[in-house]
Amino acid sequence: MGLGLRLRGEGLRRAPRHHPLPRLLRAAAEPPTPLEEPYVEGTKLRYKCRPGYKLAGGKSPVVTCDNNSVWSADPDFCIGKPCGPPDIMNGRFEYTTDLLFGATVTFSCNVGYRLVGKSTAQCVLQGSEVDWDNIPHCATRPPFHIRWKCSCIFLLLLSDAVIACLPPPVIENGQVMNGDRDFIFGTAVTYSCNKGFTLIGDAVIHCTTHDNLNGIWSRSAPDCKSGANMIIVGIFPLLLAMLVMNI
């Protein structure tokens, strides 16, 4: 007959008169040999923590059959063994309970990095000790290298890693001054215009992200306008105002 032990003052189940050996989730009895069931009132049994658990400090592993037919013991005298905090560079972990046997943690990476591996880990039994069953990493290598040749782009896929952007937009009558490289998170590129053209917009844009997965450029590429176009653009509002006044 299996009997779950519940402790005095905690809604303890009263032991029947034949006092069967109590069964605990975290500990197993070390009964005398041969077994002496049924146990009489006053019997004391020493328990040993099951694998993955250890004896709590200041607690006794002895369970006693009291004279009122109730098994009594220190509450939670066996506690889970601890897994140390998981080490994940360029990332972090979150948990809702503790870091003891059976606990689960969730990993995430800092902005600009991508998680490689499972996003969760559990503190499990490994031999006689406990450890995390999985620790992913936040990779530090770019996911691809870009090489230019004859205005073509060749992509060499390496791995999931640092967030990267597509090549910066090409502009008419201008060029990217530092565009022959990898465009990973945080990379900045600078635009310039051909002689006789004026840069309209921001000359520098950088690779960023909104979802920590895909890279995007911080803003649209600038334009390169000729002097004649600039004059027309500047005169147009004036001509429109004159037209309205004459109506």
Q: What are the structural domains, with CATH classification, of the chain? A: 1-80 (2.10.70.10), 91-138 (2.10.70.10), 144-229 (2.10.70.10)
Q: For 51-101, write each residue's pLDDT tens digit.
A: 999 999 888 999 888 877 788 888 889 999 999 999 999 999 999 889 999
Lowest mean pLDDT among 23-27, 88-92, 128-132, 176-180: 176-180
Spatial CB neighbours of 31, under 8 Å, sequence gap ≥ 6? 21, 45
Q: Are 91 and 73 in contact (CB under 8 A)?
A: no
Q: pLDDT tens for residues 158-200?
A: 344 567 888 899 999 999 987 667 888 888 999 999 999 999 9
Count of beta carbons in the 10 Å neighbourhood of residue 151: 6
Q: pTM of the predicted model, to two decimals?
A: 0.55
Q: What is the distance between the alpha carbons of residues 245 and 36, in angstroms, rounded to a whole number?
A: 113
Q: Which range, of 11-15, 41-45, 229-233, averages the lowest pLDDT?
A: 11-15
Answer yes or no: are the C-beta atoms of 68 and 19 closer than 8 Å: no
Average per-residue pLDDT for the chain: 77
